[in-house]
């Protein structure tokens, strides 16, 4: 009876996660579509270029806490005030430093391009307000994701209205650089109110707990940096070699290929608590992981085939002929989704097996390979070369490199069996 109730609650929680992601995706996609049409390939590429800097530093200022906080809530019930307060304090400090570093770097790299430097600086502010997203993990741990889903939906709606206002009033690209900050500010307000109304404890910072959680999460920081290297280097290099327009084409292709990934995120989020709970039963633990990997991989492959067939007419209809060169990039970049989300899905296994220390080896070799491939392919093939390098990096990271790292060979076997649809029942 208890098991049935728990499974029912997990199912409902997953349903709210999916519904929330669908709502967010719909609003964000529509707003992004209008923004791209308004800004054009060049200015849209500039926004994407700036986002690459914040994406890179986000992996640093997250401090790896996102990867361990769910387990902390599970192991320390009733201490959410300390867990959240300490985590947010650490994130706030690192985010301020990261935003300052991004601003300085933007001016150093673009000393004669004041617009690019300003857009980079304004975009970096989103890192500071992003810390409020930690509240969502608390609701997830309580299987109450409907609350965080509604809060995020409202924040996305407000941000979409902000972008539409900018378009209607003819504002410059500088105002669009603040969109991420607007989103995080309102999401944070709604989540904090919901947290207090649902019995959340008083937030406070604990120096002792800060040392403890950093010791737990530190092994995820460097791997996060490595992931950022091969997920953001392409946009930065494209802009340096080909300018904002090619970056805009690449960004549209990347965004379109990822527009449906809320489904994968929801599947991973909904499986995560049950995978953690099954860690004591090796057979069930392996089966749960294989099922998740199979869903992630084969669903991604199906969508990639769809984009390969219908990508060009989709881009023409949605973004207009000005963005048609993005179609050839889309046919390549879409294949990275299957492998990148296998890497995301693997995090639950890593935490439960306590294999964080060796994770850096996997991402180090993948990052080095990606940077080398970008240097080789981007000058000759532009956005298509960057897309091919990204796909290769994700395959290295999720499938190939783990085979040669002893601590991850077991997981590589789980992924291999999942791809072959073996032992799922």
Model confidence pLDDT, tens digit, residues 248-283: 999 999 989 988 887 888 788 778 778 888 877 888
Structural domain containing residue 252: 244-425
- Structure-token match 């997250």, residue found: 62
Instruction: Give, in order, the Cα–Cα distances in Å from 243 to each of 43, 52, 238, 248.
Output: 10, 14, 7, 9
Residue 44: both structure tokens together? 């849209």
Assess whether 249 and 152 both reside in one domain.
no
Q: What is the mean pLDDT of the chain?
A: 83
With H, G, I as helix, E, B as strand and everything else as coil, classify residue 422. Answer: coil
| Structural domain includes residue 234 | no
- Identify the domain boundary among 205, 236, 261: 205
- Identify the domain boundary among 175, 205, 235: 205
pLDDT band at 11 (very low <50, low <70, confident <90, very high): low
| Cβ-contact 145, 139 below 8 angstroms | yes
Task: Give the pLDDT score at 303.
Answer: 95
Give the residue from 273, 148, 150 showing the smallest Cα distance to 200: 148
DSSP code at position 68: T
Assess whether 307 and 360 both reside in one domain.
yes
pLDDT band at 367 (very low <50, low <70, confident <90, very high): confident
pLDDT of 361 > 50? The answer is yes
| Structural domain includes residue 106 | yes
| Structural domain includes residue 219 | no
Assess whether 261 and 396 both reside in one domain.
yes
Q: Which residues of 233-268 are buried (b: 16+ CB within 10 A; e: fewer)?
A: bbbbbbbebbebbbbbbbbbbbbbbbbbbbbbbbbb
Lowest-confidence pick of 14-18, 29-33, 204-208, 320-324: 14-18
Task: Give the pLDDT score at 178.
Answer: 86
> What is the share, in percent, of the chain residues with pLDDT greater than 70?
93
Assess whether 197 and 248 both reside in one domain.
no
Number of domains into which the chain is organized: 2
Assess whether 383 and 314 both reside in one domain.
yes
Question: How many angstroms separate the CA atoms of 104 and 154, rounded?
Answer: 33
pLDDT band at 336 (very low <50, low <70, confident <90, very high): very high
What pLDDT, in 10s, does the model give residues 82-118?
888 888 888 888 888 888 988 898 888 888 888 888 9
> What is the share, in percent, of the chain residues with pLDDT greater than 90?
17
Assess whether 264 and 410 both reside in one domain.
yes
Question: How many angstroms separate the CA atoms of 145 and 298, rounded?
Answer: 26
pLDDT of 289 > 90? The answer is no
| Structural domain includes residue 306 | yes
| Structural domain includes residue 419 | yes
Assess whether 249 and 380 both reside in one domain.
yes
Whether the CA torsion 72, 76, 79, 82 is positive or negative: it is: negative
Task: Give the pLDDT score at 330.
Answer: 95
How many CA within 13 A on the CB side of residue 274? 21
Task: Give the pLDDT score at 2.
Answer: 43
Assess whether 192 and 279 both reside in one domain.
no
Residue 342: both structure tokens together? 């296998």
| Structural domain includes residue 220 | no
- Identify the domain boundary among 157, 180, 205: 205
pLDDT of 302 > 90? The answer is yes
Give the residue from 218, 221, 67, 70 showing the smallest Cα distance to 135: 70
Assess whether 249 and 201 both reside in one domain.
no
Radius of gyration for the chain, computed over Cα atoms and rounded to the nearest angstrom: 21
pLDDT band at 6 (very low <50, low <70, confident <90, very high): very low
Assess whether 22 and 166 both reside in one domain.
yes
Assess whether 75 and 142 both reside in one domain.
yes
| Cβ-contact 17, 145 below 8 angstroms | yes
Task: Give the pLDDT score at 300.
Answer: 95
What pLDDT, in 10s, does the model give residues 116-148?
889 888 888 888 888 877 888 877 777 666 777
Question: How many angstroms separate the CA atoms of 362 and 359, rounded?
Answer: 5
| Structural domain includes residue 336 | yes
| Structural domain includes residue 199 | yes
Residue 48: both structure tokens together? 């994407």
pLDDT band at 1 (very low <50, low <70, confident <90, very high): very low
Task: Give the pLDDT score at 158.
Answer: 87
Assess whether 250 and 195 both reside in one domain.
no
């Amino acid at each position: 009876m208890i098991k049935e109730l728990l499974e029912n609650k997990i199912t409902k929680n997953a349903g709210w996660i999916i519904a929330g992601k669908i709502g967010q995706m719909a609003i964000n996609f529509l707003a992004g579509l209008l923004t791209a049409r308004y800004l054009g390939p060049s200015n849209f590429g500039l926004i994407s270029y700036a986002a690459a800097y914040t994406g890179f530093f986000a992996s640093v200022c997250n401090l790896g806490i996102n990867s361990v906080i769910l387990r902390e809530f599970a192991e320390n019930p009733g201490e959410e005030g300390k867990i959240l307060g300490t985590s947010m304090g650490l994130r706030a400090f690192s985010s301020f430093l990261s935003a300052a570093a991004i601003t300085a770097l933007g001016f150093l790299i673009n000393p004669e391009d004041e617009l690019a430097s300003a857009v980079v600086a304004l975009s970096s502010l989103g890192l500071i307000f992003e810390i409020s997203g930690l509240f969502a993990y608390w609701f997830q741990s309580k299987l109450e994701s409907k609350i965080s889903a509604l809060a995020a939906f409202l924040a996305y709606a407000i941000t979409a209205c902000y972008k539409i206002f900018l378009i209607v009033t003819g504002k410059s690209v500088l105002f669009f650089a603040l969109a991420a900050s607007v989103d995080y500010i309102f999401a944070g307000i709604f989540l904090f109110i919901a947290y207090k109304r649902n019995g959340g404890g008083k937030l406070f910072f604990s120096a002792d707990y800060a040392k403890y959680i950093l010791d737990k999460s530190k092994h995820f920081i460097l791997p996060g940096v490595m992931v950022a290297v091969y997920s953001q280097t392409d946009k930065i290099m494209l802009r340096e070699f080909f300018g904002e327009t090619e970056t805009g084409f690449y960004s549209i292709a990347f965004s379109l290929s990822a527009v449906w990934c809320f489904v994968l995120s929801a599947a991973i989020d909904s499986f995560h608590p049950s995978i953690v709970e099954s860690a004591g039963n090796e057979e069930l633990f392996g089966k749960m992981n294989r099922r998740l990997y199979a869903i992630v991989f084969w669903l991604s492959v199906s969508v990639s085939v769809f984009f390969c067939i219908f990508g060009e007419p989709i881009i023409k209809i949605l973004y207009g002929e000005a963005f048609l060169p993005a179609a050839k990039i889309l046919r390549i970049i879409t294949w990275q989704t299957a492998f990148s989300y296998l890497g995301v899905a693997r995090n639950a296994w890593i935490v439960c097996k306590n294999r964080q220390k060796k994770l850096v080896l996997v991402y180090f070799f993948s990052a080095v390979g990606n940077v080398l491939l970008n240097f080789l392919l981007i000058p000759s093939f532009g956005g298509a070369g960057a897309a091919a390098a990204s796909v290769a990096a994700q395959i290295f990271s999720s499938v190939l490199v783990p085979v040669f790292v002893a601590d991850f060979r077991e997981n590589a076997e789980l992924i291999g069996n999942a791809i072959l649809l073996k032992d799922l029942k």
